Amino acid sequence: MGKKAVIFDMDGVLVDTEIVYMQWLEEYLRKKDKDIPKEKIYKMVGLSGKLAQSYLEKICGEDGEKLWTGYLEACESYPFSYKEVVIPGIEELLEYLKRAGISMALASSSDMKDIQEMLDETGFDKYFHIITSGEMFKESKPNPEIYLYTIEQLGKKSENCIVIEDSDYGILAGKEAGTYVIAREDKRFGFSQKQADIIAKNTYDIGRILKKLLKK
């Protein structure tokens, strides 16, 4: 078996942004007189902008693109720092993998602008050999193309890649791409996470699992 690589999702794995985004969306829709149950809003976690637009149109009965654009514009007015929502233990894990000589990539459904902003603020860019955004593809997660492309760019085989995810959309994309998927447990959004190969309780648990897998 060749040397392994680790591919990280961003939101919910590196930074705890999803709950913030969903709270902002809930507030935005409320101001638009859209009384959408929280459970329905939370189903958007892990979707790319394109899929989020389609889903908004479905649950709100209005132009999804217009709603999504309005939401993104509203987000600009909220004070926010990626450094303040870094997942506990993640920097130590990235540093460990770097010292171990493990190739790492970032594959997120987020726009490249947001990915780069996160990397700039946290300084995490030094850890990743490849950075991939869902906006680069016609379809992002749960479509596996984002992971298949990232694996190809890493020069690896799918069976030698480990994906760290949280959302069911991301987990499905990783599995469809033929990788081993570790899910970071998150019970806030109704994820089942059952399609993952293993569910880790937190980042420290992810590190423990990775150390075992990387020795094989």
Q: Which domains does the chain have, with CATH numbers?
A: 5-16+83-215 (3.40.50.1000), 18-75 (no CATH)
Verdict on whether the full-model pTM lies above 0.85: yes
How far apart (Å, rounded) are the C-alpha atoms in residues 128 and 122? Answer: 13
Element (H, E) at 183: strand 180-184
Report yes or no: 167 and 185 within 8 Å, Cβ to Cβ.
no
Length of the chain counted residue by residue: 216
Predicted confidence (pLDDT) per residue in 5-15, tens digit: 999 999 999 99
For 24-75, how does the pLDDT look when each residue is reduced to its tens digit (9 = 90+)?
A: 999 999 999 998 999 999 989 988 788 889 999 999 998 999 999 999 899 8
DSSP string, 86-106: BPTTHHHHHHHHHHTT-EEEE
Cis? peptide before 79, omega within 30° of 0: no
Q: Could you tell me the CA-to-CA distances from 39 to 50, 117, 146, 184 in Å, in that order?
A: 20, 29, 27, 20
Q: pLDDT digits over 94-135, tens only?
A: 999 999 999 999 999 998 999 999 999 999 999 999 999 999
What type of residue sits at position 7? I
Could you tell me the two tokens for 126? 């030094």
Rounded to the nearest angstrom, the gap between the alpha carbon of residue 50 and the centroid of all alpha carbons in its chain is 15
| Cα gap 150→39, rounded to integer Å | 32
Give the mean pLDDT of 195-209. 97
The predicted pLDDT at position 47 comes to 82
